[in-house]
Copies of this chain bind each other. A is one copy, B any other.
């Protein structure tokens, strides 16, 4: 597969950076106006190249409802820049803030994996005895399963997310804090959704 030309990359970047400026996925004419181009046909060539590269797709099948980025596009972009998306903070007792990427963070290779990863900032002391402190950053590998003993980002009852050790048996899932002042929580498997597994941790000692 061919690599994007400069103009194609330019248009893709524009699409990526201006998604939220379009109330609905933009049509070719709309894009022409936004890109200050006079010819729909010319733009069409570029869009076809982006579709070919898997970065863009028609929004509603073959209907004329505009185009949008593919799910793959964002990850590819992240991979190309090798920075990880920093998606917000996780505090015991609150749902994780929706996975909108706030910014990007360059992370050492040793703290990543070859699968999609993202970075969260930890709020609270529930994992203090595991050496994970309030304010630390954690690198999370995005996957829906975990082995016992791993530290996971778990979404409980679709409402609150926490960072805990996990122990799974036939009928129950145990979420264990690393803090003697807190107690373990026991759930049925269907109450808990694993959102990712801890694979890295970082701390800054800068006072600023």
Contact = CB atoms under 8 A, between A and B. Distances in A.
Interface of A: 2-3, 5-6, 9-10, 23-25, 27, 59-60, 63-66, 105-111, 113, 128, 131-133, 136-137, 150-151, 198-206
Secondary structure dominating the interface of A: loop
B204 A203 contact: no
B109 A106 contact: yes
Given A6-B65, A60-B3, A202 B105 contact: no
Contacts of A111: 202-204, 206
A107 B105 contact: no
Given A3-B65, A199-B204, 7 more contacts: A9-B23, A10-B24, A106-B107, A110-B202, A110-B206, A111-B202, A131-B132
A201 B95 CA distance: 27
A60 B64 CA distance: 33
Identical copies in the complex: 2
A2 B200 CA distance: 41
Contacts of A201: 202-203, 205
Contacts of A9: 23-24
A161 to B, nearest CB: 18
Contacts of A131: 128, 131-133, 136, 203
Given A108-B106, A110-B105, A205 B133 contact: no
B3 A108 contact: no
Contacts of A3: 59-60, 63, 65
Nearest to A133: B131
A198 B202 contact: no
Nearest to A206: B199
A152 to B, nearest CB: 11
A137 B202 CA distance: 9
Contact of A199 (B6, B132, B205): B205
